[in-house]
Structure 1
Amino acid sequence: MTHPLRIVAVSGGLNRPSKSAALAEHLLDLIAHEIPCQQGLVEIGQIAPQLAGAVWRSQLPDAVEQQLAAVEQADVLVIATPVFRGSYTGLFKHFFDFIGQDALIDKPVLLAATGGSERHSLIIDHQLRPLFSFFQARTLPLGVYATDKDFVDYQVRDKALMERVQLAVQRALPLLRLAQCTQPALAEELLLA
């Protein structure tokens, strides 16, 4: 027995419109085309003023608490962040500092990042994978990195990027279908198939 996946994307972009949000939404749309799902998008830039001054989770307003809960309760995460000085933004990390330490265990996470040039493409393996490994999440095998030239008016337009995104989603589908299962026996059967 399956249920619609709860997929939440987190965009680390601080501006609106944002290439990171556009990439996250593109990934969400491709996944939704393949698997029934409920989608959500957390934009760090939209909650930044409420997030920045908090030291403890209990200090956060309800709007930010709801975004944290959405991430913790998701079946699958899509993470897309811009590169800022060689890594993700401080507010992106600050948001994840409030996530429960055990809340993401075994949760599939598709990683993506955007940057001004190809020289930052290792952010996925050198910055994002270690962060989500700390949470014991299941980072999916293929990440997606995009540069400014891959977008037109904040929409994914580059053919090579579209192919990479499609491949990342196709490779993720077996694990996403496994996350969709509500019965452990069926999940095990899919895993062995």
Structure 2
Amino acid sequence: MTPPFPLRVVAVSGGLQRPSRAATLAEHLSDLIAAKIPCQRHLIELGQLAPQLAGTVRRSQLPDTVERELAAVEQADVLVVATPVYRGSYTGLFKHFFDFIDQDALVDMPVLLAATGGSERHALMIDHQLRPLFSFFQARTLPLGVYATDRDFAGDSLRNDDLIQRARLAVERALPVLDLTCHARTRATGNVAAA
């Protein structure tokens, strides 16, 4: 039975340029989720928001375009986050964006973690940097992260079979959590509609 209320899947790319490998990876993961569960997808490319976001210290100072993207993250049912590795961590712009997210907005939200880097040496960044960040928000980080290097891409698509399989496995392992989220959303939305 198809749930009447598709999941809101929001992907956030910390890439600073366009085209961005982080955005490509985030979209690929979102596509895999959409192939398994009915959802509405939205991609946020932080590089496109940089001129409006950088230098702002209070959320009340942000323009509406950035505020809408923050609200999209806070109202998501599932997050897919992907960032380039910069000096062993996520980009500063990625952290700056999430600094504006309400501290309680992501509690129990499933988050699929991904990163891109120049070599395999930074693969543990997902567990050492991204996972603690989303643990602070009390989000539910999904079991498998996905890490890709520059040579895993061909233009704007993934080309490495091992990486493609890893991405598929990450989504498959996430499905039990996503299925529960889907049913919870259907119940909650149904209760609101019945009220």
Residue range with higher mean Cα deviation, 151-160 or 105-114 = 151-160
Q: Partners of 2:180 and 2:42 in 1: how far apart?
A: 20
Return the match for 2:172 from 170, 173, 192. Answer: 170
Residue 53 of structure 1 deviates from its aligned partner by 1.6
Distance in 2, matches of 1:183 and 1:159, equals 38
Structure 2 residue 178 is matched with structure 1 residue 183: no
Cross-structure match for 1:5: 7
Query: Scaled by the length of structure 1, what TM-score is found?
Result: 0.94
CA distance in 2, matches of 1:32, 1:144: 17
For 1:116 and 1:10, locate their aligned partners in 2 and report how far apart those are by CA, in whole Å: 20
| CA distance, structure 2, for counterparts of residue 53 and residue 142 of structure 1 | 34
Give the secondary structure class of the aligned counterpart of 1:104.
coil
Of 39, 42, 48, 2:41 maps to 39
1:67 counterpart (69, 73, 80): 69
Counterpart residue identity of residue 74, structure 2: E
Identify unmatched segments of 5+ residues in structure 1: 185-193
Give me the identity figure in percent: 73
Match of residue 135, structure 1, among 134, 137, 144 = 137
Q: SS of the counterpart of 2:65?
A: helix
Q: Deviations over 1:28-87 (max 9, x none)?
A: 111101110000001010000100021000000000000000000000000000000110
Residue 183 of structure 1 deviates from its aligned partner by 2.1
Q: TM-score, normalised by structure 2?
A: 0.93
**Where in structure 1 do 4 or more consecutive aligned residues deviate above 4 Å?**
none
Q: Give 1:151's aligned residue.
A: 153
- Residue correspondences, number: 184
Q: What letter corresponds to residue 83 of structure 2 in structure 1?
A: T
SS class of match (1:84): coil
Amino acid at match of 1:58: S
